Structure formats: C-alpha cells, structure tokens
Amino acid sequence: MKEKYKTMHNVFDEFTNRNLYKLINEGHFKGLVGQLTLGKESNIFIAEKDDGQKVIVKIYRLHNCDFNKMYDYIKYDPRYVNLKKKRREVIFAWTQREFRNLMLARDAGIKVPTPYTFKFNILVEEFIGDESAAQRIKEQFPENPKEFFEDTVNSIIKLGKAGLIHADLSSFNILNYHEKPCFIDFSQATALNNPNDDDYLERDIRNLCNFFKKRKFDVDESKVLNKIRIQIKK
C-alpha cells in the first residue's frame, strides 16, 4: 500500500495525510500522480484509480489559507448559519460547500466536474480532459468566441435560476473542453439571497467581458448583465 500512497508526504500535515490514506483505502483513488495547479487556498492533484481512470483531488491547506475570507462568503449561506468562526470548522465547511455547489450546478444542467466525495479539507471530483487535463480559456481561447461566449452566458443564467452565483468567475475558472465551457472552482459560489449577490454577479460578468475584449471579441458588459438579470428572474 505504501507504494500506492503517492501523496508527497512532506507537503501536507499529518491530519491531511491520514485522510488521504483513508480515501485510498475506501477505493476513491490509489494515489496522487502529479500536481495540476497550485491555487490561492488549495493544492490540486491528478490521481488515478485502480482501473486507470483519472480523478482530481483538491486539498485545502489548513495552515496558510485565508479562512477569514472564506467565512465572509459562507456566513450568509443559510446552510451554515450555525458555523463558528474557527479555522478548521470554516475550512471543512468550505470543502463541503464546494461539493454541494457542484452538485447543484450539475443538476441544473451546467457542465462542471462531477463531485465524487469529500472528507474534511479534501474534495475528490471528476477529471475534465482526455489524455491531458482540459485547459483554461486563458490558455486555450475558443476557436468560435461568439458561440463559446453565448454558451458561457447561458450557463451563468442556468446557475442563477438554480439560485447560485459563481462569485469567482474568470478566465482561470472556465475550462475549454472540446470548445464548450466547463465551470470549475465553486467554493465561493453564493446564493442569490446573499446581500452582496448583485456585486458578485457584476464582478463575474466584468471579468468575463474584459477577458474577451482583450482577445478582440467585442461585447457590451451592460447588455450582457441586463440579459442575465432578466433571464434569471423569469
């Protein structure tokens, strides 16, 4: 089993390593095979199952992540009204919240990684890609920007109708998977009844439009935002 336990043992604390080992024993994957990205709050790895299938293992760091910022997002979530502002409790709730948000988005018909399981600060989800991981749109701009942009806006509307705003949407969090958008990183996704919901929506649309404008695709931010607001309310 030690040979299968490719977890880069010295990278994480003992608590995280123990839970990675438990996930291995439960059959969710046989070991981590390489780091995909290093996020602001997490390390994201590719892992393999016994049948060779790839999965993503996202590990929120327990000691050097901004749990105060996490709490500012999660404190208005009705699912976590009794959450205490304690580092580990917030990080564990944050991980569970991303799992639940991904499930909600998937059920709403949005292309996202299917979440498989979570344990404390570890989330296991679907690998998006073929032989290699799908690229973010900042790295692989769509061949048909108009169609891709429209698909992205439609996904934002579907998410809104399901009661969520991504709240961290940018060229870093949209994958180009076979020329279709796939949204990732749902830990910040926020319910529409959040007092900052409209600010988050505006920021998402601003980020999206600015990115496409820089790539010489002309979009009108105010028109896009107005369309989304109208469609969400229908």
**Of the residues 77, 107, 185, 204, which is catalytic?**
185
Residues 70 and 112 in one domain: yes
How many structural domains does the chain have? 2
Query: Residue 176 and residue 197: Cα distance in Å, rounded?
Result: 26
Domain boundary among 100, 126, 152: 126
Residue 185 designated active-site: yes
Residues 17 and 108 in one domain: yes
**pTM summary value:** 0.93
Residues 81 and 142 in one domain: no
Average pLDDT value over all residues in the chain: 93
Residue 197 designated active-site: no
**Of the residues 50, 72, 168, 197, which is catalytic?**
168
> Where is average pLDDT lowest: 61-65, 86-90, 156-160, 229-233?
61-65
Domain boundary among 126, 160, 176: 126
23 and 119 Cβ atoms separated by less than 8 Å: yes
Q: Tell me which residue range forms the domain holding 160.
A: 135-233
Which tens digits make up the pLDDT trace of 166-205?
999 999 999 999 999 999 999 999 999 889 999 999 999 9
pLDDT category, 50, cuts 50, 70, 90? very high
Q: What angle do CA 156, 190, 162 make, to 5 degrees?
A: 50
Strand pairing class (122-126; 135-136): unpaired
Who's near 9: CB < 8 A, 6+ residues apart?
A: 17
Residues 184 and 142 in one domain: yes
Phi then psi for residue 188, to 5 deg, are -85, -5
